[in-house]
Structure 1
Amino acid sequence: MEAVIGLLVMILGVSHGVETYCDGRQDGAQCYGALGGTVVLQLMDNASEISKYQWSINTTTILIWRNNTFVINAIANRSFFTPSDGTFRINNLSWTDGGEYTLQIFGSDGQVSERRTLQLTIQVGYLPIMAGVLSALVILLVVGVAVICAQKKKQNNKPKEEEDHELTYADVRMVQQPVRQMQKKAETEVEVEYGQIKFPERPQQTVEPA
């Protein structure tokens, strides 16, 4: 049981430690990330050469980068951006991180010079493993409870069997006692009969005079 729990903890830890990489420099890129894990998205080659860009998911703006600094970073607590290589890292992925992302790059004139999208899908591949471990844990718990109940039931039945044996022995002894009494009674009657047989023979003896 402890081994199963340890395996479950290990799987959860591995799930949270999974890191995937995706090249989002191509329009329409398909990216994947593990639930609870980390994804590294390659958005551009070098962000320091771009005066402004904006990144959003569906209709919600996540990032606005302008003059080598963030104007907006809605997920600053679990993300990290590296301007030198244009990679954006998102940690502790959740269901809400999945969706279509749109990157707009602006030129020096303030107009959109490039626009591309990427689709981020959150994978749930670790859930079947976790479900299997949980099922094994439940089975072990059920078996353990059944074994404990069986042992308790066996212990409860032992005193009853001993009492039954004692009662049986007592019955046997009580049956044997009348038999012995009858044997003693029979012997007494025989001795009395022998006494009665010997008693009448005594008067027949004659005594000669001296």
Structure 2
Amino acid sequence: MKVTAGLLVLLLTVCHAEEQPCDGRKDGVQCYGKLGETMLLRLMDNDLGLYRYRWETTTTILMTGGIGGKVNLSEKRFSFTPEEGLMKIIKLERRDSGKYTLNIFNEGGRLIISQTLQLFVEDSVPGANSTRCDQPTLTLPAAYYWLIIQNGILAPTVLVMIGVMIFFALKKKLSKRHRAQEDQEVTYVNVSRETNASQERGRAPTS
């Protein structure tokens, strides 16, 4: 069951609130949160070595931080863990929806990194308990895997899928080997015929 749960984590891109944060380290990510619940956003790996950074909306600076200074937050509902790069928003409100930008500056005050995420606060979030993040790696609908694991047939299904993949991989490999052998035989026959023809011409009597 632990193996299948691990596979489920690899296959899904649904981000649950207290289990997995929405990964905002990729520019343009869309994160979804449920009204009144808690949201976790991963803004960076950590703040080590970052001279100065600022997280803001189009109208408000929500957080500032950097080397030699503490993190300053303008909202009481927001908390940031620099060691993990995690922003926590409690009791999501509709006004929390919007575009957020993380700007990172070097020692000279020059902007070196700017990445945005779009947060949507909704009454309900389909496919997740509380939050999710949309990324372009979704393979199959989350409801499909949820249905499988609820019925206790995830492990057999995964084993069958792996078996089918191995079968076709071996079939493809054997097919390539067979074609290579046929090409080698054809080449050998052609070379043999050319050799025999040369020998026959060499034995022909000269006038």
Structure 1 length-normalised TM: 0.48
Q: Identify which of structures 1 and 2 has the higher relative contact order when contacts are C-alpha pairs closer than 8 Å and 6+ apart.
A: 2
Q: Scaled by the length of structure 2, what TM-score is found?
A: 0.49
Q: Name the one with the larger helix percent.
A: 1
From the CA coordinates, give the structure whose radius of gyration is larger. Answer: 1
